[in-house]
A and B are shown apart, each in its own frame.
Chain A
Amino acid sequence: EIVLTQSPGTLSLSPGERATLSCRAGQSVSGSYLAWYRQKPGQAPRLLIYGASSRATGIPDRFSGSGSGTDFTLTISRLEPEDFAVYYCQQYGSPYTFGQGTKLEIK
């Protein structure tokens, strides 16, 4: 199985700032089958990005994804209050695996 390592573990920023989250895979992710999710406390995860760079339905353009192979990035251009949450990357080859998460907290 493909191990995903997210960094940093915690990111402290202020509203309006830019956030850059990293996801590194232990081996190449075929077809760029890499997704990003945001999870707010007490809620289910919500799909933000799939195919490494495609935004899911209803996701604002301040969210962008990039990368291929083993290195992927989620960028949030201008942080809104609702963006302070935990973010997970996922590769959807066989079998599914998730990263351990990055907590984005208010500075």
Chain B
Amino acid sequence: EVQLVESGGGLVQPGGSLRLSCAASGFTFSSYWMSWVRQAPGKGLEWVANIKQDGSEKYYVDSVRGRFTISRDNAKNSLYLQMNSLRAEDTAVYYCARPLTRGWVWDAFDIWGQGTMVTVSS
């Protein structure tokens, strides 16, 4: 079964850091670009970042560039999101997502994890 499972969410103070993980299974992880997408409570979806198969290219939404770092470990079939200098507006459910087509940098997401909640509050 193709599956993505996120972990690492929790409560963190403003200015703090958190590292999210996403474990992939059931497909050739190293063949796909991968993304993080977030959803603030009661709000819509926002793409956060994506990373190329070998980690050599990364793209970020403007609001997190310089604070968040996306990375991956293909040997462990895992995707990560290091979040620093966290703000209240980063509070959201964070999903990892796989694009529909192997090798495409920008594509619809056909596989989503269940999400992990990040709350930034004092």
Contacts and interface: CB of A to CB of B under 8 A. Distances in A.
Contact of B47 (A44, A51, A96): A96
A75 interface: no
Contacts of A56: 100, 108, 110
B114 interface: yes
A98 B108 contact: no
A45 B61 contact: no
A6 B8 CA distance: 33
Contact of B110 (A33, A57, A101): A57
A63 interface: no
Interface residues of A, number: 24
A56 B113 CA distance: 17
Nearest to A101: B44
Q: How large is the interface on B (under 10, 10 to 19, 20 to 34, 35 or more residues)?
A: 20 to 34
B113 A44 contact: yes
B45 A98 contact: yes
Contacts of A22: none
A100 B44 contact: yes
B106 A92 contact: yes
A99 to B, nearest CB: 7
B80 interface: no
A88 B100 contact: no
Interface of B: 35, 44-47, 50, 59, 61, 95, 99-100, 105-110, 112-115
Interface of A: 33, 35, 37, 43-47, 50-51, 56-57, 88, 90, 92-101
27 contacts: A35-B108, A43-B114, A44-B95, A44-B115, A45-B95, A46-B112, A47-B100, A47-B108, A47-B109, A50-B107, A50-B110, A51-B108, A88-B44, A90-B108, A90-B109, A92-B106, A92-B107, A92-B108, A94-B59, A95-B59, A96-B106, A98-B44, A98-B45, A98-B46, A100-B44, A101-B44, A101-B45
